[in-house]
Amino acid sequence: MSTYEHDPVSHSVAHHLVAIAELLEEYGYARVTDVARHLGITRGSASITLKSLEQKGLVTYDDRRFLGLSEAGRQVAESIQAKKAVLRDLLVRVLGVDEKQAEEDTCKLEHLVSARTAERARRLLDFIESGSSEARRFLAAFGRFRKDGTGGTEEKGR
């Protein structure tokens, strides 16, 4: 069985955990209603998923039904948010994908990408953003290649 099949974080779970993290960061609190609106789903649907996340020890409820993240839940949410940021930057800054499309695609991939792959992507971004002459040449060559398929001028004639 592949590691993919072992991954306990589904698309829906990832979205719920990240939604709570974002709401807590923005407003300082998160209720089922807020998560439902944030994700564009019904409260009933949000409530069912959140209950199961509570049972898995990822989400907490206080006495007034305000939501929180357990330490494990916070780690999962932070990991997904970090991967999301790397993937979005990679799509926009390197591949030239427009922001809206990048956001949609990132949303589909964020919970599937391994930490190792995300780290490699981050290193590539670090290299590109280093501003070195090699990085500038790489970006320029890739930009030309993307447009007309002839970016690798130095390799011509080899």
Q: Would you state the structure tokens that stand for residue 30, as one six-digit string?
A: 């998160």
User: Residue from 28, 44, 149, 157 that binds another protein (CB under 8 A)?
Assistant: 44
**Is the Cβ of residue 30 or residue 41 nearer to another protein in the bound state?**
41
Least spacing, CB of residue 70 vs another protein, in Å: 20
**Contact positions with another protein (CB under 8 A) in 4-43:** 32-33, 36-37, 40-43
**Is the Cβ of residue 22 or residue 54 nearer to another protein in the bound state?**
54
DSSP state of 51: H
Q: Look-up: residue for tokens 């090699």? A: 134
Least spacing, CB of residue 44 vs another protein, in Å: 4
Distance CA 91, CA 88 (A): 5
> Within a 10 A sphere around the Cβ of 95, how many other Cβ atoms?
12
Q: How far is CA 45 from the centre of its chain?
A: 22
User: Residue from 25, 51, 136, 146 that binds another protein (CB under 8 A)?
Assistant: 51
